[in-house]
Structure formats: C-alpha cells, structure tokens
A = this chain, B = another copy of it.
C-alpha cells in the first residue's frame, strides 16, 4: 500500500451519467499515478444532498442500481471505494446511504450509514433508512491493511468512534459531503484529529466539492496523522490528491489546531473567515449557473454595497462579459450613486447600461393614483399616511426591467442582492430588490459585507475595482428622502447602526441569546461606542418587532448561498411564518 487517491469530485445530483464519467476519469488518474486504492466521497455516484429527489422519483433508484453495475466494471483495473444510494426494500422504495468496496470488477463489500442526520442543512433522514451499527461490518481488509469506515457526521458520535478501538484499524476512512459554514472546518479538524490519536490510525477524510442550490460542499479532503494534516486537497474545487503512505511527496498543510476552545471560535472576528466566504459564494454562484445551464447574470447596479459586491463576485465567476449591470436611476438617485455604479462597471469590464425608470414610475404613479382614489372612495379603509407605495414603485420597476432582460436575452438570470442584515429586518422590497432567481449574499451580514468588499479590492482578480466611496458611504435604499436631513434616508437612520444590528444577529444565531440576556450582557458594540440603556432597549425592541414580520418576507425570497454559522435561509431554517412568540 504505497499510494491512496482521495478523489474529490463535483457531481450533479441525480445525473448518474455525468457522475459516472467523473468517477471513471478519476480512476484513470489513479491508474496513471499508481494508486493502490481510490476513495470517493459520500454518495459520489448519486450526488449529495439528495433532498426528496428519490422520494418523488423512486425510478431513480433502479437507475442508480444499473450504474452501480457499470462502475463495478471500472474496478477491473483499480480498486476503489465509492458512495451510492442502495435500494433497501424495493416494495417501499427505502434506501441506504452506502459505500461500496469495488475490486477485480466486483462489488466486494457494502457498508451502510447508521446515523442519519436531519437538522440544519441535513435531510438524510428523509430519504434514507438507518442500518444497524456493528463495528465489524465497518472493516475493509485490503493488502494487509485494515480500514474502518465512517460516514460524515458519524465522526461526532463517540460511541461509534470508540467501538473501533478494539479493531485496531490502520486507517479510518471518513466519506462526507459537508457544506461550508463558519468554523465548520476547525470543528471537523478537531474531531478528525481526536480520532486519529485515540485509534492511533491515519484518518482519510474525503469530502464532496460542489454546490446544489443553497448547499456548497467544499472539498478540502485530507489525511490526518498523529495531530497533523499530512496531505490536503484544494477547497472549493475538484482535486485528485495522491497520499503517499511512506510520507514523502505529499502536499503538506498546517497542523490542525487541536487546542482551541469552542467558545473562542464563535466570536465576531470574521476577518480570518473572508477567504472562506469568498470561496463558498463563488462556488455557489458557479454551480447554480453552470449546472442549471445559465450563462449570464443581470443585476441592478445602484452604486450601493450589496449590488457592488454581487457584481464583483459574478464577474469573477462568470467572466465580465457574462455580467450585465444596469443602472436604473430615478429622480431620487444621487449623482454619486450613478457615478459609483458606472465606475465599478468600468473597473470590472462588465456590460453596463443606464436605463432611467422615470417613464415607468411616472406611468405607474398615474395609474396608481387613479386606482387608489377609486378604492378610497368605495371602501371604508383609508390609505396609509406616508406609505411606502411610491418609494417601492422604483424598486419594482427595476425588478421588472431585470426580468424583462432575462426574458429577452435567453439564459440571463436576474440576481437578488439582499443581504442577511436586511433580510432579518425585512428591509427590502417584495418584487423589488428581493426579486431575482438567486441570492448570492443572503447569508452575509452588512458589516461582514463591508469587510468582504475591502478584501475583494485587495485579493480578487479585480484589484481596487470597488470605488472607495462605496466602502465608506452609509448604506441606504435611496427610495425616499429623510425629511430631517433633506438627503436620501440611510438604512441606519431607518433601522439602527449595522454594527449593533449584526451583533444581535450573531448573539441569536451563535450564542442563542434572547432579549433579556442581551439586555443584561455587554455588547462588543458598547465597548467601542457610547450607548445608554434606553437606546439599547429601543433598538432591541425594534429588532424583535421587525423580526416578527421578516419571516413572512423571507418566505418570498429566492434560494441563495448558505455560508454562515447559522442561516435565515428558508432552505435550511424551516421557520413557521404563522407563529407568535415572546422572547
């Protein structure tokens, strides 16, 4: 046993033919590079997450069985381990999440997952049935070596891990399809490291790479031995990582830090996390477009932070020629905003058009005025004073233009540019800026987005593309004028300082705090800014009041990339809209 190949492929869920070709080509690499054994990730043949695809179309299970036979043939030249969906009972279409050991043209052994997760982004428990755990079942013997197999989240189950102690495996194989989240990788390294040390075995961790809708699996397959990462594959991309068991010629990475404390991990300091966020969102965009056969993105460029960061990321992934930026000024739009949008587009080299919305908002306003007058005449209910109706006409006219471009130029997808802070506060217009087919930054808070903007200026292929003013001016929707200042109302005037707002989100998601404990606790914001108790309370009350209606708005958002520690995205956080609760 000299060389083991960790084959990190990017499958398409349900596309067995495509995935078969990926597997076959990795096995060619294995043969060419003298690998004794190749290991693919969890469910590599079918793709992960399966969600309800197999439940809805059980015929895919029969289809999958045909492809298991097909990959059996591939093992004539080189042995390998590959994950697949295995029919457990043809009568009720239940299936196992299984890993097969293929050698000499045959499926020699099947190992089946026991612990099926169904929290957060994990929905395995819906499609798969659990197979009773027996330590001996998990052993594969090959070339005088003993391999003990674990599936993804099973590495966190101490009973299962400890059961391997008596089996003295030489290697622990962990096949996975973990998605990228804040601090996921540190937690993972800690667990893998512990396994390596307590079982005195090398851990071979093979993770899927690639995105399905909101779910971005991130690769970074690795070998851990005695507290050290001794070989590691790329993150956010396919990779064939040959691990040389004698230790030389491996891509060696830093040791995983096994001494960290969980409470230290979950802090608000996200500078170190920006590269991961960048990689996650990029792969999320890339695969949503390429796997769904879309080529071009079309988005409104307001000159604000959200659309700016989206434009940079889209240009980075799709190429500047495949991004259409549209500046759609109204009478409120400031010259600075228009300039910033134009300057950004020029810096990125994307397609850029100015489409003033004056005629549309004018026609809508006239039509609305006529309609509202009739409605008010006939109904007891009165129009809302100082309503947002006419402000929102601007946002909705813009969305209409983007969807029109999408219809007129095939394969162009409109982008929803809302960020996580706005979504928590419902500070976005339904059918306006919330509208689009995909929401790249919906899991990134505003303060983090500012940091990401600065990071992109330094580290992306588009150096300094983002105008400084975008990174310094106060964010706002530019839909209304603040009567106190005579200038467009800023978001912080309408809401509260983003630094405070984002800390509340962090305290809810990471620290699981409620209103009372937040009032008692000293905010990081308070260590840097003066804040009296009444204002703090007023901000928190405003936050919770807005939160209670934001779920309704969130139910109308398109899917978007998940990347934070926890998410508001409805694909992973199944929140009832119809619920009342006091916190």
Residues of A near any B CB (own CB < 8 A): 12-18, 47, 49-53, 55-60, 63, 93, 118-119, 123, 125-126, 211-213, 287-288, 291-292, 296, 324, 326, 351, 353, 355-357, 359-360, 362-364, 366-368, 370-372, 374-375, 378-379, 381-384, 387-389, 392-393, 396-397, 399-401, 403-405, 407-410, 430-431, 435, 437, 508, 512, 514, 552, 555-556, 558-559, 566, 573-583
Residues of B within 8 A of A399 (CB): 431
Q: Are B355 and A370 in contact (CB under 8 A)?
A: yes
What is the distance, in angstroms, from A325's C-beta to the closest C-beta of chain B? 11
B57 engages A581 (CB within 8 Å): yes
Q: CB-CB < 8 A to A362: which residues of B?
A: 363
A371–chain B nearest beta-carbon distance, Å = 4
A268–B387 CA distance with the chains assembled, in angstroms: 48
Counting every copy of the chain, the complex holds: 2
Residues of B within 8 Å of A573, CB to CB, are 52, 56
| Inter-subunit contact A123/B57 (CB<8 Å) | no
* Contact among B353, B400, B410 with A400 in the assembled complex (CB-CB below 8 Å): B400
B384–A408 CB distance below 8 A: yes
Chain B residues near A211: list those with CB within 8 A: 578
Q: List the B residue with the shortest CB-CB distance to A290.
A: B578
- B126 close to A368 (CB less than 8 A): no
Enumerate 24 A-B pairs (CB-CB under 8 Å) in ascending A order: A14-B576, A17-B582, A51-B574, A51-B576, A52-B573, A52-B574, A53-B581, A56-B566, A63-B581, A63-B582, A119-B126, A324-B375, A324-B379, A355-B367, A359-B366, A360-B363, A367-B401, A372-B405, A375-B405, A379-B409, A383-B408, A387-B408, A389-B408, A399-B431
Interface centre among A326, A356, A392 (most CB of B within 10 A): A392
Q: A375-B405, A392-B404, A514-B59 are in contact. Are A578 and B213 (CB under 8 A)?
A: yes
Residues of B within 8 A of A514 (CB): 57, 59
B408 touches A296 (CB 8 A): no
| Shortest beta-carbon distance from A403 to chain B in Å | 5
Tell whether, in the assembled complex, residue B556 and residue A558 are in contact, meaning their CB atoms are under 8 Å apart. yes
Also in contact, A578 and B374, with CB within 8 A (given A404-B392, A555-B558, A583-B57): no
Instruction: Evaluate contact between B371 and A405: CB separation under 8 angstroms.
Output: yes
| Cβ contact within 8 Å between B388 and A407 | yes
Q: Quick one: which of B375, B393, B401, B578 contacts A351, CB cutoff 8 A? A: B375
Does A578 lie within 8 Å of B212, measured CB to CB? yes
Of the candidates B49, B363, B371, B555, the one whose C-beta lies within 8 Å of that of A353 is B371
Q: Are A437 and B556 in contact (CB under 8 A)?
A: yes
Q: Which residues of B contact A407 (CB under 8 A)?
A: 384, 387-389, 392
Q: A287–B359 Cα gap in the complex (Å)?
A: 40
Pair B56/A575 contact, Cβ less than 8 Å: yes
A288, A357, A431: which has the most chain B beta carbons within 10 Å? A431
Q: Residue A118 contacts which of B118, B410, B552 (CB distance < 8 angstroms)? A: B118
A15 proximity list for chain B (CB < 8 A): 579-581
Contact status B119-A368, CB under 8 Å: no
**Closest B residue to A399 using CB positions:** B431
Known: A381-B409, A396-B400. 6 other contacts (CB 8 A): A13-B576, A47-B579, A52-B573, A296-B381, A367-B401, A375-B409
Cβ contact within 8 Å between B372 and A408: yes
Question: A409 contacts which chain B residues (CB < 8 A)?
Answer: 375, 379, 381-384
CB distance from A153 to the nearest CB of B (A): 14
Quote the shortest CB–CB distance from A413 to chain B (angstroms). Answer: 9
Distance in angstroms between the alpha carbons of A514 and B409 in the assembled complex: 33
Q: In the complex, A458 Cα to B566 Cα: how many Å?
A: 51
A14's partner among B363, B364, B579 (CB-CB below 8 A) is B579
Q: How far is the CB of A20 from chain B (nearest CB, A)?
A: 12
Which chain B residue has the least Cβ–Cβ distance from A119?
A: B126
